[in-house]
Amino acid sequence: MDDTFKSLVSGLLKTSVTDQSFESMTTRENQIKQLLRHRKCPKEGWDESTIELLVNRLSLMDSNNFVHNYGLGEREARFASQLVSRRHYRLGHGIGRSGDICELQPKAIGSSLLNVLTNSLVLDVIQSVGVPNTRSCFVVPMATGMSLTLCLLTLRHVRPNARFVIWSRIDQKSCFKCILTAGFIPVIIDTQMNDNKSLDTDFKTIEAKVKELGNEKIVCILSTTSCFAPRNADDLSSISKLCLQESIPHIVNNAYGIQSSKCMHLLETSSRVGRIDAFIQSTDKNFMVPVGGSIIAGFDTDFLNQISSTYAGRGASTPSLDVLMTLLHLGINGYKALLNERKENYNYLKEQMKTIANEFNVNVIDNKSNQISIAMTLNMFDNSSIDTTELGSMLFKRSISGARVVAIDDKRKTIGKYEFKNWGSHTDSYSDSYITAAAAIETHVKKDVSDVYNIYTTQAFFVQITTDALSKSLAPGDAIEFIPSILGMPDLPVWMHYKQLNSSHAAYLYGSPALNDDQDIDIEVIAINQYNYETSKDVMKFRVIQRESM
Ligand SMILES: *Cc1c(COP(=O)(O)O)cnc(C)c1O
């Protein structure tokens, strides 16, 4: 802390104030200084006060927040609504200048610093979690598909005679549309099926296409790492080597790949043996912020500068601010802990799906280079009247979102003027219908799956209340009293009853929900140890499912 401030405080309080009283402020100041000095993601996450101290400071450095400032321009970061102003910490200038999304904005030094800091921290994270070879990256205030388009448009300047983008098929619309939006002609390379029914890059056909079209005519090869199973990540190493050999640019769609050490490893090793010009990832999928941003990264700073200067105009600073605040909150250790947890969740989810698959005599497909998404075949419905596509909505009704059912039914889909057979399966002819589930970052499969009691309408249920929280202090003879009720309400639902067996530790909730009682319900249980009056609170989650729709 500044000495004048300290002596003024001592004077005001008429006592000599110890350094400890200023310490918490000094600690925060030092954290901020360290950040500016090293420009790396801190090891441990910061508390909210320090994050806000930094953001407020950045905000005060923008001209719209100067004590005396009269903006005579048409764009001066004005706010009509205080709600909007507060939501953005009074940061209103956005990032970049009219000609380059990474350029400094003299009227907005705080926002410019925000932009540089965020990009620097993101680079540190990408390097730390698997691609140390990365040279440069920047956050773009557009989602992944549009950032892919921006990269392709940059290549238009570099390769004015090229028109074809060689694309290893992945059935997600934005992956394909980014080529059409950039005004190029896609050359669709179907994936090929392995013996274990996983799907791989058809590298031979890519090689043949490159020969057929000739280097001059090809804008780039667009490959993908993170994708829905049973598709594997593309054969990045072979494609990268081919691109190096034939002098063809290579753009990699790594949409949710930062969270997968497998995808990151593929990028790192391929960048060492071959050519990758840029790899693009989503900020929301990897860093848990609202949709609206993506990160363009690469191994050649000059090419990345070309991309950022292709962006027309300024951009919103919100995606950068959200990512910066998130990274400061988590710290690199916090982020890595989430990545480890994700791996455990992936293994758990796969085990659970295998258990179900065994029960029904179907398969969980082994995807070596896809460690996020898992596919299970649905052959148990092959000779039944059940429409497998209904499974998705059945799961959605049970509060499971994101599971995807792909039915092999020869349906066709048209995007632009291109028609795809069996859209959704990454190939014209897949053998089986299947369902996919993803263990992405912050997917709490374990907790979600095991802590919910499923009960059914018009069917009796019977659940014991557990005393986990009290068990440490509970002696066998202690009397215990439970008070169960709907969370935040005084009573139980009319169809749910409570019974305790003679003050023993065994107490039960039982009953039978009526036909229209199908909804999720949280029951709060307060437990009181009547011997020492220690209390604990626990929430039991019930999911009431309609019996007919089983
Ligand atoms: C999410 C995703 C995209 C991009 O989607 P946007 O909506 O543009 O962010 C592209 N490819 C894959 C594989 C994705 O998962």
3-state SS string over 42-66?
CCCCCCHHHHHHHHHHHHHCEHHHC
SS3 of 77, please?
A: coil
Peptide bond into 132 cis (omega under 30): no
- Number of domains forming the structure of the chain: 5
Alpha helix locations (H) across 19-108?
A: 20-38, 48-60, 82-87
Shared domain check, 545 and 504? yes
* Centre of ligand 1 from the C-alpha of residue 255, in Å: 5
Shared domain check, 378 and 316? no
* Centre of ligand 1 from the C-alpha of residue 147, in Å: 10
* pLDDT of 549 above 60: no
**Has residue 111 been placed in a domain?**
no
Count of CB atoms situated within 10 Å of the CB of 475: 8
Nearest atom, ligand 1, residue 282 CA: 9
Shared domain check, 172 and 312? yes
**What pLDDT was estimated at residue 550?**
46
pLDDT digits (tens, 9 = 90+) for 224-253: 999 999 999 999 999 999 999 999 999 999
Shared domain check, 72 and 202? no
pLDDT averaged over every residue in the chain: 92
* Centre of ligand 1 from the C-alpha of residue 281, in Å: 8
* Centre of ligand 1 from the C-alpha of residue 164, in Å: 21
* Centre of ligand 1 from the C-alpha of residue 213, in Å: 28
Q: 179: Cβ below 6 Å to ligand 1?
A: no
Q: 295: Cβ below 6 Å to ligand 1?
A: no
Shared domain check, 355 and 396? yes
**Has residue 458 been placed in a domain?**
yes
Q: 281: Cβ below 6 Å to ligand 1?
A: no
**What pLDDT was estimated at residue 471?**
57
DSSP secondary structure of 182-223:
TT-EEEEE--EE-TTS-EE--HHHHHHHHHHH-GGGEEEEEE
Average the pLDDT over 421-447 and give the result.
Answer: 88
Q: What is the helix (H) or strand (E) element at residue 420, kind and residue range? A: strand 418-421
Determine the Cα–Cα distance for residues 141 and 308; give it in Å rounded to an integer.
Answer: 11
pLDDT digits (tens, 9 = 90+) for 41-67: 999 999 999 999 999 999 999 999 999
Shared domain check, 531 and 464? yes
Determine the Cα–Cα distance for residues 289 and 319; give it in Å rounded to an integer.
Answer: 8
**Has residue 359 been placed in a domain?**
yes
DSSP secondary-structure letter at 534? Answer: -
Q: 439: Cβ below 6 Å to ligand 1?
A: no
Specify the CATH number for the domain of residue 356. Answer: 3.90.1150.10
**Has residue 149 been placed in a domain?**
yes
Shared domain check, 523 and 434? no
Cβ atoms 95, 105 nearer than 8 A: yes
Provide the residue range defining the domain that includes 12: 1-30
pLDDT range class, residue 122, cuts 50, 70, 90: very high
Average the pLDDT over 173-198 and give the result.
Answer: 96
**What pLDDT was estimated at residue 507?**
85
Shared domain check, 416 and 305? no
Specify the CATH number for the domain of residue 175. Answer: 3.40.640.10
Nearest atom, ligand 1, residue 226 CA: 13
pLDDT digits (tens, 9 = 90+) for 300-352: 999 999 999 999 889 999 999 999 999 999 999 999 999 999 999 999 999 99
Pocket test for ligand 1, best of 282, 283, 286, 373 (most atoms within 8 A of CB): 282
Specify the CATH number for the domain of residue 498. Answer: 2.60.40.10
Average the pLDDT over 153-164 and give the result.
Answer: 96
**What pLDDT was estimated at residue 360?**
92
Shared domain check, 370 and 280? no
Q: Which of the listed residues 377, 406, 440 is the one where a domain comes to its end?
A: 440
Q: 282: Cβ below 6 Å to ligand 1?
A: yes
Q: 174: Cβ below 6 Å to ligand 1?
A: yes
- Percentage of the residues of the chain whose pLDDT score is greater than 70: 95
47 burial via Cβ count (<10 Å: 0-12, 13-18, 19+): middle
**What pLDDT was estimated at residue 473?**
60
Q: 256: Cβ below 6 Å to ligand 1?
A: yes
Shared domain check, 272 and 150? yes
Q: To 5 degrees, how large is the angle CA 250–CA 251–CA 257?
A: 130
In whole angstroms, how far apart are CA 23 and each of 4, 44, 47, 218, 329?
15, 19, 15, 61, 21
Average the pLDDT over 389-418 and give the result.
Answer: 87
Handedness of CA 387, 389, 390, 391 (dihedral sign): positive
pTM: 0.83
Q: Which of the listed residues 418, 440, 462 is the one where a domain comes to its end?
A: 440
Shared domain check, 365 and 240? no
Cβ atoms 315, 285 nearer than 8 A: no
| Binding-site residue ranges for tRNA | 272, 398
**Has residue 417 been placed in a domain?**
yes
DSSP secondary structure of 312-328:
-S-B-SHHHHHHHHHHH
**What pLDDT was estimated at residue 472?**
56
Determine the Cα–Cα distance for residues 318 and 505; give it in Å rounded to an integer.
Answer: 53
**Has residue 119 been placed in a domain?**
no
Pocket test for ligand 1, best of 139, 140, 142, 144 (most atoms within 8 A of CB): 144
pLDDT range class, residue 69, cuts 50, 70, 90: confident
Q: 227: Cβ below 6 Å to ligand 1?
A: yes
Q: Would you state the structure tokens that stand for residue 126, as one six-digit string?
A: 């990408």
Shared domain check, 541 and 399? no
* Centre of ligand 1 from the C-alpha of residue 407, in Å: 22
- Ligand 1 atom 1 nearest Cα: 255
Count of CB atoms situated within 10 Å of the CB of 237: 16
* pLDDT of 98 above 50: yes
**Has residue 313 been placed in a domain?**
yes
**What pLDDT was estimated at residue 399?**
78
Determine the Cα–Cα distance for residues 107 and 45; give it in Å rounded to an integer.
Answer: 31
pLDDT digits (tens, 9 = 90+) for 7-16: 899 889 888 8
* Centre of ligand 1 from the C-alpha of residue 382, in Å: 31
pLDDT range class, residue 537, cuts 50, 70, 90: confident
**Has residue 127 been placed in a domain?**
no
